[in-house]
Structure 1
Amino acid sequence: MSLTDLLDPSVRIVVAGTIAAWHRAEQEHYYAGAGNQFWYLLHASGLMPEQLQPADDHRLPAFGIGLTDLVRTRRSEPGEPPVFDVRGFHKRIRRCAPDVVAFVSKTAASSYARAAGERLPREHGALSWQVAGVPAFVLPGPSGANNGMPLPLRTAMWADLLDYLETLA
């Protein structure tokens, strides 16, 4: 189960997460979980001119930001890594042709890297590899599980994506 992609050819940034938990799509909107700072970080970092709420997620493409997920294809046995639909993910990225794919956490970037045979990310920021020919970037995760990283630092690292995007123009 997955959420509807919010992608079109006008997006410059595709923010990509993973549907590793089967229940996540039941929330109906991206990053709607309690304690998730996604919408705050988008705005506070300068990536968005206003702070939206999860129910407004459909508005993001008008601001040049798309949302999608690397989707699990089947349940994995305990202790085995999840199996993701990399080909489908690449197809969606090629179709909208953004300037950058920004993984919403090191966990999301690592899931992609394992599934696609790429090197695991060690740091946040620009990656040495691409996704379907598009430069890739790792953001610090916005979830409450990442509260060990101070919010001002996470905000600054999300702002780094805006700086990186400018270097690609």
Structure 2
Amino acid sequence: MPGEHRRDGVNEPALADILGPGLSVVFVGTAVGTASAERGHYYAGRGNRFWQLLHEAKLTPRLLAPEEDASLFDFGIGITDLVKGVAQSHDRGLDFSGAAGVAAHLVAACPRWVAFNGLTAGREAARILRYGGSVALGEQPWTLGTSRVFVLPNSSGAYASMPYAEKLRWWTALAALVAV
């Protein structure tokens, strides 16, 4: 059932990864939001602009709905999160103890690019991988296995301090690199 996170007393991921070999880019968030967990699909919150940014940056040929998240494989795109549980409060108080395992899965999948959806995810990944905490938007000087790394402004409506046009500029810059 969407939003269910325990089975037989064992913590289950809020959503299954959309991850596999041969992908062009995998988007990595911090944790699944409550609306996404309830609907059973990534980036399903009303204020989240992920799908719009993905399309307007030309990473998908049409605007997808969250319910179409599994179709991202058709476009060479994957999705996962550093924290496998549900974020109750916009990235605060999250347990990143399993993030090293997520990083290992990303290294094994070997996408051309890993794109962190937000500075929080990018900084936490850099910290876990011992690249330090100095992370800025854009392409990073470090890799995740053989995958190049890019940090995007967060697509969530909770991070509205950056104008949409500026967010789209960063997403379009990633799309240009992915297309090469």
Asked if these proteins are the same fold (TM beyond 0.5), I'd say: yes
Query: Share of identical aligned residues, percent?
Result: 35
Give aligned pairs, total: 162
- 1:65 and 1:147 map into 2 onto residues whose CA distance is 25
Change over 3 Å in CA distance of 1:54–1:23 after alignment to 2: closer
Question: Are the aligned partners of 2:110 and 2:146 in contact in 1 as well (CA < 8 Å)?
Answer: no
Identify the residue that residue 156 of structure 1 maps to in structure 2.
169
**TM-score of the superposition, structure 1-length normalised?**
0.84
How far the C-alpha of 1:140 sits from its partner, in A, is 0.7
Residue 40 of structure 1: how far off its partner (Å): 0.1
Q: Is the 8 A contact 2:58 2:172 kept in 1?
A: yes
Counterpart residue number, 2:122: 109
Report if the CA contact (8 A) 1:42-1:48 is conserved. Answer: yes
**1:58-116 Cα distance to aligned partner (Å, 9 max, x none):** 1001101000111258xxxxx97733323321332133211010001101111212222
For the residues of structure 1 that align with 2:95 and 2:173, how far apart are their CA atoms?
A: 29
Unmatched 5+ stretches in structure 2: 1-12, 86-91
Q: Could you say which residue in structure 2 is the equivalent of 1:138?
A: 151
Higher helix share: 1
Moved more, 53-62 or 115-124: 115-124
Whether the 8 Å CA contact 1:2–1:71 is kept in 2: the answer is: no
2:28: which partner in 1? Answer: 16
Shift of 1:46: 1.1
The equivalent of 1:54 in structure 2 is: 66
Residue 7 (str. 1) matches residue 24 (str. 2): no
Moved more, 112-121 or 63-72: 112-121
1:77-96 matched pairs, under 5 angstroms: 82-96=95-109
- Work out whether 1:120 is the aligned partner of 2:133: yes
Does residue 70 of the first structure (1) align with residue 82 of the second (2)?
yes
Aligned residue for 2:83, secondary structure, equals strand
Q: For the Cα contact (< 8 Å) 1:99–1:134, is it kept in 2?
A: yes
Deviation at 1:158, TM superposition (A): 0.1
- For residue 44 of structure 2, the aligned residue among 19, 32, 43 is 32
Which 10-residue stretch deviates more, 98-107 or 84-93?
Answer: 84-93
* Structure-2 change in CA distance of 1:29 and 1:121 (3 Å): farther
Looking at structure 2, the residues matched to 19 and 67 of structure 1 have their Cα atoms a distance apart, in angstroms, of 11
Secondary structure of the structure 1 residue equivalent to 2:28: strand
CA contact (8 A) 1:35 1:144 kept: yes
* 25 and 80 in structure 1: CA distance in 2 versus 1, 3 angstrom threshold: closer
CA contact (8 A) 2:21 2:109 kept: yes
What SS does the corresponding residue of 1:114 show, helix, strand or coil?
A: helix
How much does 1:160 deviate?
A: 0.4
1:30 and 1:57 in contact (8 A); partners too:
yes
Q: Where does structure 1 lack aligned partners over 5 or more consecutive residues?
A: 74-78
